[in-house]
Amino acid sequence: MKFYIFLIAYLFALSVAFSQDVTVINAFNNFPLPGVYVYALNSYDTLQTNSYGEVNIDVFSNDDVIIFYHQMFMRERFTKQQLSKNHHVVHMKQGELLDKLSSTSPLKSKVYSADLPFFIDIIDLDEDNSSNVNVERITFSYAERGLSVFRGLEPGKMLLVIDGIRLNNAINRNGKIESLLNYDKTMTMRIQQIYGTGFSIYSADATGGVIQYFTKIVPISQEYPFIFNMEVNSKYETAVKSSVSNLNFSMATLKFSSFTSLSYGSFGDIKMGENRKHVPQADSLYGLRLYYLERHGNEDISIKNENPFVQKGTNYDQLYFLQKFRVKLSENTNLLLNLHYIYTSDVGIYSGLTEINRDNLRFVECKFEPQHKALISLNILDERVTRIYDFFSTQNTYVVFDEYRITRKYQNPVALHQIENLHVFKHNSDFVKVLNINRLLYGINYDYNQLNSEAFFYNIDTDSSWQGLSRYPTNGSFSHDLGLYLNYKWMYHERFHVNLGVRYNANYTNAFFINTSPQIPLNFTEKKYLNHAPIGSISFDAYTNWLQLKLIISTARHMPIIDDFGKVMVKDFVVNIPNENLVSEKLVTGEFGVTIDMKDKLRIFGSIFYTKLFDAIISEHTSLNGTDSIYFGIDGYRLATKVNIPEAYIYGISGGFNSIHNFDSQEKIFIRLNTSINYIKGINEQDNISLPNISPLFGNTNFILNFYSFSLRITYIIN
C-alpha cells in the first residue's frame, strides 16, 4: 500500500515538474493578468488564464507558435522554447483598447498590425531610447523639425496625430509638425507610422500616410489606494548646443489618475555636417552660411559667419506643458481630459534667411514671432457589451493657435507682418463590435475650421503702418468636413484574413477674398467648394508560423481646402496665387508586402507599391489677366498656382531586416542590427517629368550594443 501511495505521489510530482504552466503578468505593474486568451495557429484549442494569470499549455506542441491575446494589451507570440528561456513568464505591454483609454485615441491607437488594412511600423521609445527618430520612409529637413514625405506624396497628403487628435486642419496640412505643435519627444511613449492611404478609417487628410504620437500615460491603480511618481530628465546635444529639461509628475488612485509634464528646451543654431564629398568641386560653397544680416542702430549690416557650417537664425526656445486626467466613472466607463499648451519663441525661417537677391542676402528678417498654441480634448470611453458595440469612444477637441510671420528685405525699412488665427473644433464617435471572431469598426467624424487672416506693412523708421497682402483670404474663411466610415475584418481562416473598408466624406469650404494688393487683381471675391465622394479599400493577409503576406488595394480622394486653393505665398521670386478651378485629386493604390519572421533571431521584410493619380494637384507657373509676372517695387516675380494635371503615377520598393543576438537568458546583453532601404519614383505623365518632393533613394542602418545599463548606438543614414 505504501508503495502505491509513493508511486502516485511520485507520478504527481513528476507531472507537476514537467507541467508547462505559464504565468502572464502586466508589464507595467507586474500584476497577474486573468482572462488572457491563449491559442496557436496550428491548434483549435483556446485557453484562458485564471485569476492568478496562470495557464497550462500542455495541449500545444513544441513547434506551435503560441499567441497570448487580450484586448487591452499588445498581442504576444512565443514558442515553448522561448517561453522556457523566459522562465515561463509572459510580460504583456498595454495596447489596443488600453491605448484608447490612456491616450484618448479612438480606434487609431496601437493596433496589432494585422487588424487594419495598412502597412504599419511601430517605434516603442521604451525599447528604442533614441532621441532622434529618423526611421524608414521618413525624411526630416532640419533638426527636430521639418517636412515629411510618405510614399512619394508631399506633406499636405499625410496626417499627423497626437494622442488620437488629428493635427492637420484648414491651413496646416503641409506636414510640418511645428506649424501646429512643436512636439516634445521627451513626452513620447510610442510612435506609429501607417504607410499608404489611411482614408477609410482616418480622414481625407490621410491619402499619403499617418504618423501617430502617443504621449506617456498613467493607468488607474488596480490595487494600491495611492501611487505617486516623479521623474526628471535632461539632455544636451553638443553639435547644436541644445538642451531639453523635462519634469514629470504622476499619481493614481483606484478611481483617478493624473499625468503632468513640463518641458523647457533651448535649441541652438543647427550645424551641418562638414563631410561634403557629395558637393561638386565647382559648387564647393553650396549650402554654406558664409554671412548673415543684422540690424545695428538704423542700419542693416552684413556679418561674416565664423563657422559657415552653422545655420545662423535657426535657434529658438520652447515651453511645453502637458496635463492628462483620467476618471473612472464606472466599471466600464472612463473619462479622459487631455491638455497641451506650447509657447515658442521667435524662430527664423531658414529658407528665407538664405534667399539671394543680386548676389546679396535678400531678407534681414524672415521669422515666426513668438507663438502660443493650445489644445484641449475630452474623451468618454465605454466598454459595455451591447447589441451595437463592445467598445465606444466619443472625443471632442478644440484647438486654437496664432501664426505670426515677419519678413523685411535688406536695406528696406518696411516689414510685412502676416497673422493667421485658426480655431478648430473636432468630434469623433467610434464603435467596435466583435461578431464571433470577426470585427466591425464604424464611426463618424466632424471637423469645423474658422480661419482669420490679416496683414499689414510697418515702417520701422517712421513707425507707420498700412494694410498688407494677407497669406489667406482676408475676409475670413471656414470649412465643414463630415466623414462616415465602416471597416469589417473577416477571419475566413486562422491563416487568412480579409479587411473591407468604405468611407463617405463630404467637405464644404467658403472663402472670402479682398484684393489688398493692386498687383494681384483676382477675378473672384468668394469661393465655395462642395466635395463629396465614397472611397474604399480591401486587404488580404495570409500567415504561416514564419511568413506573412499582405495585399492592399485602395482608393482615396484629396479634396482641396483653403491651403490648396486660397493661399498667397511669396518665395524665391515666385508668387503663388489662388485658383478657383481646383478640383479633387483621386488616387488608386496597390501594395504587396512580405515578412519573414525567424523568431528572436531575424526578421526580413519587403514591399512594393504603385499609386495612380488622376487630376493630380501640383504647382505650376501661370498667368493672371494676360501677364505671367508682377512687380513689387523693383523686384519681379513669376506667378504660380496649384493646378490639376490629368494623370501621374508613383511607384516604389522597400526592404530591410532586423536581427538580434542575445548573450544571456535575461536579454541584458545583446547586439541588434536594423537596416532598411527605399526607392521611390514619381512621374508627371502630362510633361513626362519627375514629381517634386520625392527623395528617390533613402534608408538607414542602426547598430546597437547593449551591456546591462550601458548602450552604444551607431546610426548611418542615406538620403
- 103, 115 Cβ separation under 8 angstroms: no
Answer yes or no: is pLDDT of 15 > 50.
no
Q: Where are the domains of the chain?
A: 19-92, 227-718
The pLDDT assigned to 515 comes to 62
> Could you tell me which CATH class the domain 227-718 is placed in?
mainly beta
Where would I find the H helices in 383-441? none
Answer yes or no: is pLDDT of 613 > 50.
yes
The pLDDT assigned to 153 comes to 62
The pLDDT assigned to 189 comes to 73
Query: Using one digit for the tens of pLDDT, what is the confidence trace for 674-703?
Result: 998 989 888 888 888 887 767 788 888 999
Share of the chain above pLDDT 90, in %: 24
Mean pLDDT in residue range 336-354: 90
- Residue 718's alpha-carbon distances to 180, 239, 678, in angstroms, are 28, 19, 10
Mean pLDDT in residue range 446-472: 91
**Which residues 6+ apart lie within 8 Å of 683 measured at CB?**
648, 649, 650, 689, 690, 691
Mean pLDDT in residue range 407-433: 91
The pLDDT assigned to 6 comes to 52
Query: Which CATH architecture fits 19-92?
Result: Sandwich (2.60)
Answer yes or no: is pLDDT of 231 > 70.
yes
Question: By mean pLDDT, which of 261-265, 384-388, 424-428 is the weakest?
Answer: 384-388
**Which residues 6+ apart lie within 8 Å of 49 measured at CB?**
24, 32, 33, 34, 35, 36, 38, 55
Spatial distance between the Cα atoms of 717 and 158, rounded to a whole number of angstroms: 23
- Residue 244's alpha-carbon distances to 132, 236, 270, 696, 709, in angstroms, are 13, 7, 15, 34, 22
The pLDDT assigned to 111 comes to 38
Answer yes or no: is pLDDT of 377 > 90.
yes
Provide DSSP, 334-371: EEEEEEEEEEE--EE-HHHHT-EETTEESEEEEEEPPE
Closest among 714, 719, 717 to 673, alpha carbons compared: 714
pTM reported for the whole predicted model: 0.77
Please compute, for residue 48, the number of CA atoms within 13 A of its CA located in the half-sphere on the CB side: 5
